[in-house]
Amino acid sequence: MRIRHGLYLILDPLETPTSFSMDKILVGSKIRKRYYLGYYTALEFYGCAYSAYNEMYVCIDKQDRLDSFECANQRFVPVFTKDIASGVEAKKYLGQRIYVSSRERTFLDCVNKPKYAGRWEECLKSLEGLSGVNGQKIYRLLHKFDSDFLYRKTGFILELLRDHSR
């Protein structure tokens, strides 16, 4: 089955194009060679997304060209970013190596662009469940991004989540 130009999915002999269930994380990981799965997709990967989404956010370099596309009721959306290496981890997923933003990068990406994390309400509910975030790693990433506004937003969100968890 053709997903898009140059990307195909092999169906089980008993499946039809209308009845198969596609693994959106595997498909998203095959769209580009240099990428990472981020924002709400990373929240889903870490198991803390507040609700299920039919959008897949694939973060790619600004110079790459990619239009969003749909396949099997899933929408694959490119998010163009300057830095596709910092705070990105290689993970094993169903026997494949995929690249996902670290918990800390996911936190910062979602705070920086909440529209890719379900807007503010959905974003905050999901970030509240994101465990294992390391404050030192957040600080180092903030230093790399060098954005005063992101520093302030991150501090505000961390305080908000701390106060809410009490």
Second CATH level (architecture) for the domain 2-165:
2-Layer Sandwich (3.30)
What mean pLDDT value characterizes the chain?
87
Q: Kindly list the domain boundaries of the chain, sorted by start residue.
A: 2-165
pTM for the whole thing? Answer: 0.86
> What distance in Å separates the CA atoms of residue 36 and residue 61, rounded to the nearest whole number?
10
Which tens digits make up the pLDDT trace of 23-36? 788 888 888 889 99
Percent residues over pLDDT 70 in the chain: 86
Which tens digits make up the pLDDT trace of 134-166? 999 999 999 999 899 999 999 999 998 888 765
Mark the ranges of the chain whose per-residue pLDDT is less than 70: 1-22, 165-166
* Nearest 10 degrees: Cα torsion 147, 81, 123, 76: 170
First to last CA, the chain: 50
Output phi, psi for 75, to 5 deg.
Answer: -105, 125
Q: Is 42 helix (H, G, I), strand (E, B) or coil?
A: helix
* Nearest 10 degrees: Cα torsion 146, 31, 18, 96: -90
